[in-house]
Structure 1
Amino acid sequence: MKNMSNVDVFAICHELKELLRGARVDKAFQPTKDTVIIRFHVSGTGRVDVVFQAGRRIHTTQYPLPNPKIPPNFPMLLRKYIKGGTVEDIKQYNFDRIIEFHIAKEQKFTLVVELFAKGNIILLNEEGNIILPLKRKLWSDRKISSKEEYKYPPKKGINPLELEKEELKELFKNSDSDVIRTLARSGLGGIYAEEIILRASVQKELPAADISGEIFDSIYNAIYELFEPLRTSKFNPQIISDGKEDVLPIDLKLYENYKKELFETYNNAADEFFSSKVREDIKNEYEGIWGAEVKKFEKRLKIQEDTLNKFHKTIEESQKKGELLYANYAKVQNILDIIKNAREKYSWNEIASKLKQARKQGLEDADIIESLDKLGNLTLKIENKIILIDAKKEIPENAEVYYEKAKKAKRKINGVNIAIERTKKEIEKAKNKKEIEMERVTLPQKRVKKELKWYEKLRWFLSSDGFMVIGGRDANTNEMVVKKYMENNDIYLHSDIHGAPSVVIKSEGKDIPETTIDEAASFAASFSSAWTKGFGSQDVYWVHPDQVSKTPQSGEFVAKGAFIIRGSRNYIRAATLLIAVGMVDYDGKRLMAGPLDAVKKYTDNYIIIKPGYTKKEALARGILRKVDEERIFTLEDMIRILPSGKADIVDERSIRRR
């Protein structure tokens, strides 16, 4: 996979500055060892995820990567220091592969992203000292470690946007290489060096130190012309394919005959290019994991089959050797008799020497003798079979050794066959498991921003009687619920606790039944701070719209999202904190979170939750798997509709009805 060049970084930095200046920093995640994702909230746009892969890339992404269950230290530290901070500026340092994010909170921080070599991501304090790096590094002139002063790497390249002729002349003069290598090593990279040479119509093998006159002017003008789109911010983001794969922010003549896919922004182009590679990497990684499981059993099967073959060979060879001893009984017996008689006068070594001489002289029966050792082990060669016998024993005893060896191998064959069948089943099981697990592997899917209906921007549910109930998500939407959507015949509800949404039942000109009011009360209680406090029930009151006012009494102050209630209140005591979550078909398929009776009315597939101990993200993931079998919605969609704070899943049979 390609790494971003200085030119790529320039284009990305320019776009990120336009997009994220003034944005609020949200959470940080670290899905892989070298990759950090930071979520920003951009006014008027909403969520924007930026992926930082040390040494490789930085861009916005619509392909969320799965996060580890236990977050590493680095993203947790980023959350501690810069979450809630505001992006003041984004800069490319010295036209290098270094980007700085300047973030203001109680104090100012700088997040430095290094894309050269193996890269790094480093958080600095106001004084420019390192709070924590993603990777600790040590060079002779730079030390990247906590509490150390951050030092930029020495300048090695040129800035083509500010390049003067004298600087280019100096670069060529001090070079001991050809022109294309000199340009490539100046920080422009191989592709842009090739492009400059093409535009200048210069031979790439020319020694850089010899370049002057018209050739020098052609190269300088080609550099100026090539990078003019960077000066004017007239990018043409594109992915090159059809025999060559690359992603670029500007047009190159090198690729004018290649297939191109154009994009609105370079961030979008980079996201499509790099994310497709990441998906391949993730798939290959899981293929490798489950493939190794299959290979483990296949290797075991090979060993078992080799063992089985050895046993069959042992049986065949041993039986054959026993039979050969009997087939050549007279000849072998004659040799044994000679050895037996010789033992009365000679040592084993002396007998071996005499047998060797007898064979050389071609004496009768000596042709089958190979050797005799000092222990009396006689080696014979009969019909090209090497047969080892004990010269101190008779032929039947020696033959029985081979027959017994064959019997022993036969006895072992049955066990090996059983083991082979078991291993074959294990292989089949592992292959099936691999297939199942590969289907379960969630590759990054493009997060397409959905166009929300007006009520989906708020808290909402449909009551079992068919009434729309809406509630605020924060101070701004509380204001919206009352000022924009509440009408004369509606009902306003509020949980009797600080930190609760304004809830409105939309009457649409009809009488609102008590069942809907009870459901709305449970809804108002469940989405209040009572949930995060772990309460099981909470008092809720309801009033008519004309009792809800934003006008304070003299000397009073009404905060944003809060309202003054005048007149008597109708209380619903101990409204239950209980929410059901399911996928309903209401103007299209939607996730709905509301009181149990309401959700049950519109779907049979739902999960019930109450205040508990499971973290919101883990809970959302579990619910999504059960209620969204079609995988229409994302984890973010599910998280969005759940109450704030932790919760647990409830068995419906354990619920006591009021």
Structure 2
Amino acid sequence: MSFDGFFTHAMVHELNAALATGRVARVSQPYPAELIMTIRAQRHNYSLLLSANPTYPRIQITTVPFTNPAVPTNFTMTLRKYLDGAILEQIDQVGNDRIVRFSFHTRDELGDRQQLDLIVEIMARHSNISLVNTKTSKIIDTIKHVGSDQNRVRLLLPGATFVMPPKQDKANPYLPNQLYSDLARQHDQPAELARHLQASYEGLGRDSARDLADRLLTSGHLPTTYQQFIQHFDQPEPVIIDGQKKSFMAFPPLKADESTLQHFPTLSQLLDNYYSQKAQQDRSKELAGQVIKVIKNELKKDRRKVKKLEKQLADASKADKYRIRGEILTTYLGKLKNGMSEITLPNFYDDNKPLKIELSPELSPSRNAQKYFTKYDKLKTSVAYVNEQLKLANAEIEYFENIQNQIDLASPADIQEIRLELQQEGYIKNKQKGKKRRKVHLSKPEQFHTSDGTLVLVGKNNLQNDRLSFKTANKNEIWLHVKDMPGSHVIIRDTNPSEQTILEAAQLAAYFSKGRNSDNVPVDYLPVKRLHKPNGAKPGFVTFRGQTTIRVTPHKLDN
């Protein structure tokens, strides 16, 4: 089931039971299209997630932790201004559509009672969250501004009148009707009946329509079956279905295999489980947009620089040809005349074979010879400088490729720290420059346990790696890293681990590396005391010697 109108109905019922009459304690916007509203209700703090994410739009109570950005958005500040301390009167659904209205009452600056609606539209890429003055229907602000150039039917901008999306010509399934009965008599195939049910009823998703069709076609009494189906959403039995394609429903479908079902006590807990990995990855990519752009630009610049430097080295490797020409011209200087543009002379470095040498007509014979010696000296002198620049450029490429690898496995908190690192290194401008900077608390490395219970720590970004290797780890504990490719720093919190523990930690190191999709990945390991960080080295960079190398297949252990 997608988050269709029926699932929305069930979720609204769940949220009303938990949150109605609660007070808004805090508003945060940890991700560009998602709000977390902390509501104090029934002597408990609930984190209400309102998501206008184009891929995973939804409303739910969440227990997944989040990290606030250093600077709140304008929309966050607007919501804090109007809704801080507001009472959530009720939550209702518009028809059976994926539009939910959160009704609040609060006091304005003069102390007068004020009614506000927070309207959430759960409609894929058209999803939005709008704060509206109930009395005037004027939009105070929206999480996504939609102008006339994007939508000619509706303006979603501050100051505009809020207008509901155009209503579809479909029946509300909760109002009295006989459509289901007529359709069931006309169509005896589940797929065909489901298609017509979906076209006839508001908010009926594909999975819900198929389940309703199955129930109607196997029913002995259509009205009872239909009423039981729609009423089931008021008393859901949330399940995740692990079939060919993982999906979720408010209750088990008629033809579900019980062995494929995973049950949950609430719809919100179901969604936390279902979206935990998908949404986190999407949030990470969303937050990493600027970071990825910076990395791509820097890599493009560095690779272009390497190509240019390698060409200079190739030219320098041919420097001897200029020295030879200079020496031949000096030897046969008497044969040169002013104004000559070229001359052919015997090459005494190649059995006196004739060698054509280009000349500058405006230069004297001796200056022409000197010109070749100067070119030779310049190329030879440049080799050391070019090699140094090439080393720096390649090191920077390795650094950014390592960050690219970290982004692939990063959580939103890791992305914030990667951004901080790039700010510290000068690749991203710090917008808070000149202001009092907010202290950033680095997240902890990810923890795993090997089969014998030994704790293994894995750094998920360079700042974590540095702290893990040089602050957290003891000098006799074991450090691991994939050989000659980007990867995480891994620490075994044991000074004398078993071979099995080293093997499992090495598999982790391979998993959290660029070689995670390979079968035979080399991993170095050694005591932490043999690590060294050169002065001025970039975050995450270390040198070492005396390592042991083993080859493993990447594998992620259970946390």
- TM-score in terms of structure 1 length: 0.47
Distance 1:48 1:95, change over 3 A: same
Contact 1:318 1:406 (C-alpha < 8 Å) held by counterparts: yes
Q: How do residues 451-490 of structure 1 correspond to structure 2 at under 5 angstroms?
A: none
- What is the match of residue 132 of structure 1? 140
Residue 229 of structure 1, CA deviation: 4.0
- State yes or no: 1:58 paired with 2:76: no
- What is the match of residue 49 of structure 1? 47
Deviations 1:189-224 (A, max 9, x none): 343455556x38xxxxxxxxxxxxxxx978999998
Residue 185 of structure 1, CA deviation: 5.8
Match of 1:442, SS?
helix
Residue 237 of structure 1, CA deviation: 0.9
Distance 2:154 2:286 in 1: 34
Residue 83 of structure 1, CA deviation: 3.5
Deviations 1:300-319 (A, max 9, x none): 55445433432343244464
Question: What is the one-letter code of the residue matched to 1:136?
Answer: H
- What is the match of residue 237 of structure 2? 236
**Unaligned regions of 5+ residues in structure 2, if any?**
107-112, 329-334, 416-435, 445-559
Give the counterpart of 1:389 among 332, 337, 358. 358
Distance 2:404 2:117 in 1: 44
Question: What is the one-letter code of the residue matched to 1:110?
Answer: D
Residue 59 of structure 1, CA deviation: 0.4
Distance 1:257 1:294, change over 3 A: same
Give the counterpart of 2:129 among 118, 121, 124. 121
Distance 1:224 1:377, change over 3 A: farther
- What is the match of residue 418 of structure 1? 388
Distance 1:299 1:622, change over 3 A: closer
- What is the match of residue 247 of structure 2? 246
Distance 1:400 1:230, change over 3 A: farther
Contact 2:319 2:379 (C-alpha < 8 Å) held by counterparts: no
Deviations 1:404-432 (A, max 9, x none): 54432222111112223344555677789
Distance 1:305 1:110, change over 3 A: closer
Match of 1:91, SS?
strand
Distance 1:623 1:391, change over 3 A: closer
Contact 2:212 2:229 (C-alpha < 8 Å) held by counterparts: no
Residue 270 of structure 1, CA deviation: 1.4
- What is the match of residue 407 of structure 1? 377
Residue 98 of structure 1, CA deviation: 0.5
- State yes or no: 1:39 paired with 2:38: yes
Distance 2:379 2:72 in 1: 56
Distance 2:224 2:146 in 1: 36
Contact 1:9 1:97 (C-alpha < 8 Å) held by counterparts: yes
Distance 2:133 2:289 in 1: 42
Distance 2:255 2:366 in 1: 86
Deviations 1:532-556 (A, max 9, x none): xxxxxxxxxxxxxxxxxxxxxxxxx
Match of 1:41, SS?
strand
- What is the match of residue 20 of structure 2? 21
Q: How do residues 620-635 of structure 1 correspond to structure 2 at under 5 angstroms?
A: none
Distance 2:325 2:13 in 1: 89
Residue 65 of structure 1, CA deviation: 2.2
Distance 2:174 2:27 in 1: 34
Question: What is the one-letter code of the residue matched to 1:442?
Answer: A
Distance 2:295 2:414 in 1: 22
Distance 1:323 1:283, change over 3 A: same
- What is the match of residue 95 of structure 2? 94
Question: What is the one-letter code of the residue matched to 1:125?
Answer: N
| Percent of residue pairs bearing the same amino acid type | 23
Question: What is the one-letter code of the residue matched to 1:409?
Answer: L
Deviations 1:89-144 (A, max 9, x none): 22111100101122234243322111124222223334251241313334444333
Aligned length: 388
Distance 1:414 1:163, change over 3 A: farther
- RMSD between aligned alpha carbons? 5.4
- State yes or no: 1:151 paired with 2:163: yes
Deviations 1:589-638 (A, max 9, x none): xxxxxxxxxxxxxxxxxxxxxxxxxx9xx89x97999xxxxxxxxxxxxx
Match of 2:387, SS?
helix
Distance 1:21 1:46 in 2: 12
Distance 2:193 2:442 in 1: 61
Distance 2:178 2:411 in 1: 58
- What is the match of residue 442 of structure 1? 413
Contact 1:50 1:59 (C-alpha < 8 Å) held by counterparts: yes
Question: What is the one-letter code of the residue matched to 2:156?
Answer: I
Distance 2:300 2:385 in 1: 18
Residue 16 of structure 1, CA deviation: 0.9
Contact 1:316 1:406 (C-alpha < 8 Å) held by counterparts: no
Q: How do residues 536-575 of structure 1 correspond to structure 2 at under 5 angstroms?
A: none
Question: What is the one-letter code of the residue matched to 2:154?
Answer: R
Residue 287 of structure 1, CA deviation: 6.8
Q: How do residues 482-521 of structure 1 correspond to structure 2 at under 5 angstroms?
A: none
Distance 1:306 1:323 in 2: 28
- What is the match of residue 110 of structure 1? 117
Distance 1:180 1:104 in 2: 41
Residue 290 of structure 1, CA deviation: 6.3
Match of 2:85, SS?
coil
Contact 1:314 1:406 (C-alpha < 8 Å) held by counterparts: no
Match of 2:126, SS?
coil
Larger Rg: 1
Distance 1:413 1:142, change over 3 A: same
**Unaligned regions of 5+ residues in structure 1, if any?**
201-215, 328-333, 344-374, 445-614, 626-658
Q: How do residues 76-225 of structure 1 correspond to structure 2 at under 5 angstroms?
A: 76-105=77-106, 106-116=113-123, 117-127=125-135, 129-134=137-142, 135-138=144-147, 139-156=151-168, 157-162=170-175, 164-166=177-179, 187-195=203-211, 199=214, 225=225
Question: What is the one-letter code of the residue matched to 1:14?
Answer: H
Distance 1:319 1:163 in 2: 95
Residue 264 of structure 1, CA deviation: 0.4
Is 28-37 or 297-306 further displaced after alignment?
297-306
Distance 2:33 2:314 in 1: 54
Distance 2:66 2:376 in 1: 60
Distance 1:181 1:96 in 2: 18
